[in-house]
Amino acid sequence: MADVFNVMIDALPTLLKGLGLTVYLAVVSLILATIIGLISGLMTLSKKIWIYGPARLYVNVIRGTPLLVQILFIYFGLPGATSIKLTPLTAGIIAISFHIGAYVSEVFRAGIESVDKGQAEAGRSLGLTHGQTMRRIIIPQASRRMIPPMMNQFIMGVKDTSLLAVIGVAELTQRGQSIYAVNYRAFEILALVGLIYLILTYSLYRVSRIVEKRFVVVQ
């Protein structure tokens, strides 16, 4: 048993470096995914097919294909068909951002549609344009209702970063693989990797519960 703990303790500094990159990837990807999701979510609400059509296509394609395939397509597929060359880190951020963005798009769409239509009518009666009504009335109300699913997407994004190990991104999972490839102690290393993920995601879950209780609108 002492040997097991020694293996884990020796591996911990390297794994914590991978954890730092995992958190970085998740934060950057969620920020980009929020921007992508907001734009595509607003596009899906348009009544003009040339606006909502591409957005719906994007959402359906991304949600209908595995993230692993998307990662491999961006890192290996695009360079094979174009002159674009991406580092593993850049390819990973792009893949996860667009993947989460498709789900965030639906969060925004559902959140905006959940706001009573009378709010939009009230904005028009005050002389506000459609854009002003969205910015000042609709989105502020909808944003509170979007907090629970957005927090869930962030937690999912943290776990999704583990798939970037397949293209060599030195995040938590890949660091674990590099360690047990040398010491052949896969059981101990993977158990520790899983424990670190569990602690991180549970901590985020507790934070999300606090945020929800404070800001979410009770319907």
User: How much is the pLDDT for 3?
Assistant: 80
- Grade residue 24 by pLDDT with cuts at 50, 70 and 90: very high
Rounded to whole angstroms, what are the CA distances from 201 to 16, 43, 140, 204?
15, 32, 27, 5
**Residues 101-115: what's their mean pLDDT?**
89
- Grade residue 82 by pLDDT with cuts at 50, 70 and 90: confident
Ramachandran quadrant class, 184 (left: phi over 0; alpha: psi -120 to 50; beta: rest): left
The token pair at 38 is: 């907001």
Determine contact, residues 167/88, Cβ cutoff 8 Å.
yes
Determine contact, residues 172/36, Cβ cutoff 8 Å.
no
Determine contact, residues 20/196, Cβ cutoff 8 Å.
no
- Grade residue 111 by pLDDT with cuts at 50, 70 and 90: confident
Interior/surface letters 118-140, b for 16+ CB within 10 angstroms, e for the rest:
eebeebeeeebeeeebbeebbbe
pLDDT at 62 over 80: yes
User: How much is the pLDDT for 211?
Assistant: 83
- Grade residue 34 by pLDDT with cuts at 50, 70 and 90: very high
Neighbours of 197 (CB within 10 A): 18
**Residues 187-197: what's their mean pLDDT?**
95
User: How much is the pLDDT for 142?
Assistant: 78
3-state secondary structure of 170: coil
Share of the chain above pLDDT 90, in %: 60
The whole-chain average pLDDT of the chain stands at 88
- Grade residue 1 by pLDDT with cuts at 50, 70 and 90: low
**Residues 56-70: what's their mean pLDDT?**
96
Q: Report all structural domains of the chain as residue ranges with CATH numbers, in order of start.
A: 2-215 (1.10.3720.10)
Neighbours of 190 (CB within 10 A): 15
- pTM for the full predicted model: 0.88
pLDDT at 126 over 90: no
List the single range of 51-55, 98-102, 148-152 with lowest mean pLDDT.
148-152
